[in-house]
Amino acid sequence: AFERALVLNPAALWIYDSLAALYFELGAPESAVHTLERALAEGVEQDPGLLESLGWVFTEWGMPERGEEVFALLADKYPDEIAGPKGLSEIQYRRGDLTGAIARLSAAVVAHPDVDGYTTLGWWLWEAGDVPGGRGSFEAAIGLDPANAIGAYQGLTSLLLDEGETARAEEVLREA
């Protein structure tokens, strides 16, 4: 159905994203990449959401260099979006540069507050041994959008339990 829709309207860039996501979920990364590369040819650079999808497909399927190129393009072309810096920080993290990833993501969430960004930052700060920083990031994510901060609630609860703050962890779970 998506392929037919593309024949009828190749400029409907969201269709490429949906089709690529379907291929990705079906375990066909080559088809997902091919679909998103077709989207690039059709003008996906005009859609930051599709650029982000392309970056994640490349990154998730073992092509971090291609993902990095796309996220860098996204960051340059859409400086008011967090997706580019967030993707670049994830690639840094996966390459083992926790300190650099934290620095990049910290700057990104200050400029563009984001629940997922703060949640990820919370996990990374905690991993780096900065418990107060991790806690603050989880709390910032929850403060932005409590209804969509499930990961932040999980992170904060885990951190509190690890620190022996069982009563506070139970309180956080009741709030979630």
pTM of the model: 0.81
What is the residue whose two structure tokens read 């392309």?
54
Residue 166's pLDDT is 97
Q: Which two tokens stand for residue 70?
A: 């796309």
Residue 109's pLDDT is 97
- Angstrom CA distances, 114 to 57, 91, 119, 158, stand at 21, 18, 8, 21
Show the low-confidence residues of the chain (pLDDT under 70).
1-14, 43-46
